[in-house]
Amino acid sequence: MWLSPARTGDVLEARTGAEELPVTTTSERAAVVAAESRFTEQNIVVVGGASGIGGEVASALAQAGATVDVLDRVERPQEEKITTSVVDVRDRDAVAAALAAVVERRTSVDGVVYAAGVLDGYATLEEISPELMDVVLDVNCVGAVNVLQQVVPTMKTAGYGRIVLFGSIAGIVAGAGGIAYTMSKHAVAGLVKHLAVELGPYGITTNSVAPGSIQGTKIRTSITAITSPGSVATDRGLGVMSAEDAAKTYPVGRLGTIDAVVPTVLHLLDRSSWFINGAEVAIDGGFTSK
């Protein structure tokens, strides 16, 4: 069964407890095997799957039997059943070439997870530069269009597909990012609705997850990777509050973990989820219900 690296002591304790639950009956055993092999013979593309949440989604899928193709701007450590293509999602030609190769070697693509994303340093209206606006909108939203344009024709031919995009609480409310990040994640929410209606008749579902602050991820540092140092402040926003203060802003009293996001992504990718289409699943401990 998929086990991500434990990130906190309490998570480790909770997971260890779950692992030790005895599986006693035939039907319980069958359920465990089904969970471990439910993506067997499926080919799934994970964009932004070299690290972070996408990285753990890719690992979980491979362990559940899928053949996984990761597209990311950086290489990911080698892992069985996972192949990485190093591509920047802003480069349409490179994306097209990488996905043409995926389609050729797999012949079908059953699912796409689009987890690539960058934060904008909480830049305000007056601070945002055209370059930063472009990068954030391109990576967080337009890149998904670049990817799906290449893959959806194959899904249409098969009459089957599962698409899962990454939104954010910043796609539901303001204040969890700067102007560009908030715009980009609201655009993802619109993209999901549009695709649900356009592609639903072809057996293709489109949904998104909208996480709150997730511990142990590097998205906070993405601003330094896309701008010259110091061009936009990085020392503000939800991400730089102390973990204790940030946790207080969540009704459940704690921040999220990658483990709290991955199972929902897999559920939305599952064949059984055929009637979930156009949904944005907030995984935020009630943050956006306040």
Ligand X SMILES: NC(=O)c1ccc[n+]([C@@H]2O[C@H](COP(=O)([O-])OP(=O)(O)OC[C@H]3O[C@@H](n4cnc5c(N)ncnc54)[C@H](O)[C@@H]3O)[C@@H](O)[C@H]2O)c1
Tell me which residues touch ligand X (CB under 6 A): 48, 50-54, 72-74, 88-90, 115-118, 139, 166, 168, 211, 213-214, 217-219, 222
Query: Least distance in Å: CB of 168 to ligand X?
Result: 4
Closest CA to 146 of 204, 193, 91: 91
Query: Least distance in Å: CB of 185 to ligand X?
Result: 7
Structure tokens at 229: 């140092």
Query: Least distance in Å: CB of 219 to ligand X?
Result: 4
CA distance 9 to 95: 39
* 52 or 161: CB nearest ligand X: 52
* 72 or 259: CB nearest ligand X: 72
CA distance 173 to 170: 5
- Asked whether the beta carbons of 6 and 12 are under 8 A apart, the reply is yes
Query: Least distance in Å: CB of 245 to ligand X?
Result: 15
* 110 or 138: CB nearest ligand X: 138
Query: 210 forms bridges with which residues in the sheet?
Result: 282
* 67 or 85: CB nearest ligand X: 85
CA distance 275 to 123: 38
CA angle, residues 256, 236, 165, in degrees to nearest 5: 45
- Asked whether the beta carbons of 209 and 164 are under 8 A apart, the reply is yes
* 66 or 115: CB nearest ligand X: 115
Query: Least distance in Å: CB of 72 to ligand X?
Result: 4
CA angle, residues 56, 227, 46, in degrees to nearest 5: 25
